[in-house]
Structure 1
């Protein structure tokens, strides 16, 4: 009996240790395996001198103390005065004494208020490392950057790092509902336990803040864009206040979604017309109420007149009227309005891809200065691949905020390994040509193209209450990578993958090399087995799980996949050229010329912009049908290669995470074949051609795939 109890206890302890690995994200702080390297670090870090006493300063020193103690395997203590030991000195500009300032020769004009400087300095012939910034939050970011150097086994000799975020607002959008369901959530229920708040503060809230601060995220929208007005009532605002207190030391502001009809639903008014003085005054009073409770409240995110959500158009007004009315309400308190440009109408189904541009571009220069228009990366809806949204660069007088989707709504949910920073980078590097060659989307987003004062990047969160936060262990990399690119939209996704792997797993090159390659290739694999050559929006309806290119019975034309692929006996693809819907005209002339010409249009976007004959010859010599079929097969083969890579690295990973990823890759492989077979069987009806050599023949019929139903698919 005793031996069984001991075995049971051992199993519990083992599971707990593995679960902790899953839970700790990239903040593992594992003890450095290389003894010589650890000894070298210890000779340079014999203590921490903390010069600040604010909440953020205390948080910073605690994070640095804990991280270094765990990684170096010995207690690193915090003190308030400098002695002869080699120390890390941390403090903002105002807390540095004259001796330290003279030794460091820091020019704080080189950074902004959130920036940091990490520098090797000498005081009285003793070497120290200084981590400083204009503000305490900059010091916090510097500390996380320094800890990352240790995590990734980098040298800390002769440091001279100067870094500032390139965007003002770096924010997660939680599509979380008040009942804790998450729209398009694939990692469990919402983190926010509204029933227990404000009196019960879950440790997860603190660890969520730590994780976000470590990658430079400085804001969170707690509630779904399909908003519920109840969040603006006193009962809920005291709960929001409790979360704001938790997040504040980590430099994170809280934002809420504003339901446009809130004055009716919770205010007892008969209208929500933004031109009605009573409505404007109601919002001003509501803003004052919120800022009285939460002085650093960030502002509102608004989805209006989109997919049934109420908005100013209900009253014959426009987006400018609605956004500016709310902007006036929060302006006295320094708040902002993030107004989403995701709109499309059943009354104008000529080309859904054109509608956001057509509706918002004419408003350029009409929004108040504290309004930023939030635009999805592509013109349809977070597809595995889309050309960049034509609005980027087209509104020189109106700042645009990028909206990426970190949760994998159209990319296999949290069962598929898809490294999204590769997608993000592709979009950010795209050239809009709006001010000539080199006018990249990144330059629009960070404000450098048009000198915008307010800038930002938003990411629809993939976070839930699963032990590992994101459902798939590798989906953590998408949260991490989003934060790093929000801080600096010019970072390379391969460098980000390297950082994440070393911080999350280990520094062994025999692990890093193959797994990093697997990550980098994973996004293209998904495009290949789902939507190659510019296909888009061919997933099944409602839940968006699995293929559904045959769906044609939905009430609005632009909800149906057949609307997008337009397959017939002549070919496949959506003609957005000058002879089609002329969506190309929404891009700058140089970009439009490239996309409009069948010969110059990148093949990755071919079927997005053109309806192409089945016999059209691709650049590799294959006709379109054969090339498309081979792309589907290539995607399946790539997932098989991912499985083989993962199976070879078992000795470098704890058993739980190894098995989790192994099982999920098995699912991904099965579902990649499902996508290939279902799509090719369906499109084969129109091409009338045999599958080319090298493409596996389906083992099920088209009727079988069409009969599949998934009433309990998550994220509905």
Structure 2
């Protein structure tokens, strides 16, 4: 064999094995990356898990058993011996219902678990040391298996373990803004997961992997279609397709929900009205819902966006939101379905501060909704901005179940090219005190139902998932999917702890890596706030596509679709006055909250321009003028991205080459765009303030008209 040919073969083999390694590290496995455990802890695990008793007599339990055994094989290169008898060092997996059949000397009356809960406990039975994983039901058992494997992945000790986990929230749902044509509104990770053309006959493995990933973090529901609904989703053809997905998701404990277009009786039903109080409309919805349940027996219910941004709704017929929601709820009630009715509404005539409108429309309806209706409220009153104060509806409707709506897709946080860990945003909102029933009336208590003794509880996350190989576009976007699942399970969770666990599961247990990357993640959202919307500014993004800065946007069809409406910058000052001297939006909060935000001495400076219009010369607590502080925050935002680049650069030898390079390139994009945000906003605000830049602030790279004249075509997510 000639030397050139040998060289070519060697090169081919090198490329082949490199390709195989690359495929293994492309992010597809998410946090279910069962990497081998090579330290002494592995032997401890093997000893504890020498034997296994796991009767798997259903599809869900067989999936759980397969997950467990595959995880142990990948991490420990070990498969426990299956047996019927209980010996020392045996792992016993069961549902509460099946425990009596195992002849364990355990009083099951003491093993109280709420629905879908589980326990992991080492104990002694008849002299044998065993490890128990017990689920309240089959899905609880599956959740217990995933939790146990995550303990092993993160190298946690399992000796003397005693864990009890129960979901605080019943419906933990992803909202997909996916359209039937395969596009995803405000989606930045490729096209829709759902191939409607091939369904119901072709089931992509990705559907199974999606369900598995959701179950691993406790998500138990998915809304398949966009809130800007298409009535075709309720037709026979598409119900068959949705039923095929439901069949895949069911063993993983995931229910399918659909978005209901309020005008469906007109568009696909042949009626001449969609008035919710019309008898023919009521009958149509009853028949349609019966049809849905024939296709999907465990159908979860509807998500509805009505009378908002051009969507039809009950107000078209002089009816209110409760009357609209209740007609659907009454038809769903016999089947156990629910209605998630969105509170994201604002009047066509822009009569008042946009931030007030959801409260104004919904709070007077407290107690008017049917018992299986839950009102879905965004975390803030405007629209998923990088930072917003908590929505005033939380705590203001004690007789109505309210569910949180978070956005995982980064519509206003740099799309999927910016590293933005949203755990701190979730925690900040959920830990806000509404004071609706005195001190410690936290938002998370409203959501989990404990504040007002609500039993219907839910949380929604607008999905950031698409057809990209790594699911979320940016590898760190996966952390927001993971963190959402964890906060939906327990809304009193810790963003820092969740970040650390995700890092360990996804990358490595290396302590230095975990510490550095956790800090980077925890600071990332604040960095974005600084280079986009510091000190309470909001809604400064580009027109329509929301890409990049646009503080100069004005003269559109609606004032509240412009940036100048919100920042009100001129030569005198900047900010939106929401105090009693302005729009009085603060009156919608409980009195202690109102007083805190209204008084400049106590208003947190991160919200100061959200609630106050102030002169450029106003002195902040640091001693700087407002103009100086604004410039400094924009500079700090750019520096924050440089710091992230430096931190990530130090991890080169601790993470696989493919993901390292991908994140490194994305951070380069983020730095360019942070600089763009900083320069464009400062150029505009300087043109209004007529102030000179502070001595430590460099002028923008280009004049204002350069930034104003930038145009963008085919921006993702539209």
The TM tier, using the shorter chain, reads over 0.9
Counterpart check, 1:84 vs 2:87: yes
Q: Which residue of 1 aligns with 2:32?
A: 27
Superposed displacement of residue 180, structure 1:
0.7
Secondary structure, counterpart of 2:348 in structure 1:
coil
Summarize the alignment of residues 223-302 of structure 1 with structure 2, pairs less than 5 Å apart: 223-302=225-304
TM-score of the pair, normalised by structure 2: 0.98
1:402 to 401, 404, 417: 404
* Structure 1 CA distance for aligned equivalents of residues 125 and 208 of structure 2: 36
* Structure 1 CA distance for aligned equivalents of residues 56 and 204 of structure 2: 27
Q: Which residue of 2 aligns with 1:538?
A: 540
Secondary structure, counterpart of 2:172 in structure 1:
strand
Superposed displacement of residue 358, structure 1:
0.1
Structure 1 unaligned regions, length at least 5: none
Q: Which residue of 1 aligns with 2:156?
A: 154
Secondary structure, counterpart of 1:605 in structure 2:
helix
Secondary structure, counterpart of 1:489 in structure 2:
coil
Structure 1 residues 77-113: Cα deviation after superposition (integer angstroms, max 9, x where no partner): 6x3623535222111011113665524766233x211
Superposed displacement of residue 698, structure 1:
1.5
State whether residues 104 and 121 of structure 1, in contact with CA within 8 Å, keep that contact through their aligned partners in structure 2.
no
Structure 2 unaligned regions, length at least 5: none
Superposed displacement of residue 369, structure 1:
0.2
* Structure 1 CA distance for aligned equivalents of residues 371 and 65 of structure 2: 37
Bigger shift: residues 339-348 or 476-485:
339-348
Q: Which residue of 1 aligns with 2:320?
A: 318
* Structure 1 CA distance for aligned equivalents of residues 322 and 105 of structure 2: 51
Name the CA shift for 1:595/1:199 in 2 (closer, same or farther; >3 Å). same
RMSD of aligned Cα (Å)? 1.3
State whether residues 390 and 586 of structure 1, in contact with CA within 8 Å, keep that contact through their aligned partners in structure 2.
yes
Counterpart check, 1:57 vs 2:36: no
1:119 to 118, 121, 130: 121
1:697 to 696, 699, 714: 699
Q: Which residue of 1 aligns with 2:100?
A: 97
Q: Which residue of 1 aligns with 2:72?
A: 68
Structure 1 residues 285-306: Cα deviation after superposition (integer angstroms, max 9, x where no partner): 1111111111110000000010
Q: Which residue of 1 aligns with 2:219?
A: 217
* Structure 2 CA distance for aligned equivalents of residues 484 and 400 of structure 1: 19
Counterpart check, 1:108 vs 2:111: yes
Structure 1 residues 518-558: Cα deviation after superposition (integer angstroms, max 9, x where no partner): 00000000000000000000101111000000010211100
Q: Which residue of 1 aligns with 2:422?
A: 420
* Structure 2 CA distance for aligned equivalents of residues 151 and 106 of structure 1: 32
Structure 1 residues 403-445: Cα deviation after superposition (integer angstroms, max 9, x where no partner): 0000000000000000001100000000100001100100000
Structure 1 residues 567-607: Cα deviation after superposition (integer angstroms, max 9, x where no partner): 01110000000000000000001101111112211100000
Summarize the alignment of residues 519-530 of structure 1 with structure 2, pairs less than 5 Å apart: 519-530=521-532
Q: Which residue of 2 aligns with 1:592?
A: 594
* Structure 2 CA distance for aligned equivalents of residues 149 and 605 of structure 1: 39
Structure 1 residues 420-474: Cα deviation after superposition (integer angstroms, max 9, x where no partner): 0110000000010000110010000000000001011100000001010000000
State whether residues 406 and 460 of structure 2, in contact with CA within 8 Å, keep that contact through their aligned partners in structure 1.
yes
Name the CA shift for 1:443/1:648 in 2 (closer, same or farther; >3 Å). same
1:133 to 135, 145, 150: 135
TM-score of the pair, normalised by structure 1: 0.98
Summarize the alignment of residues 255-654 of structure 1 with structure 2, pairs less than 5 Å apart: 255-654=257-656
Q: Which residue of 2 aligns with 1:206?
A: 208
Superposed displacement of residue 624, structure 1:
0.2
Count of residues paired in the alignment: 713
Counterpart check, 1:15 vs 2:15: no
* Structure 1 CA distance for aligned equivalents of residues 100 and 528 of structure 2: 55
Q: Which residue of 2 aligns with 1:46?
A: 50
Secondary structure, counterpart of 2:105 in structure 1:
helix
1:681 to 665, 683, 686: 683
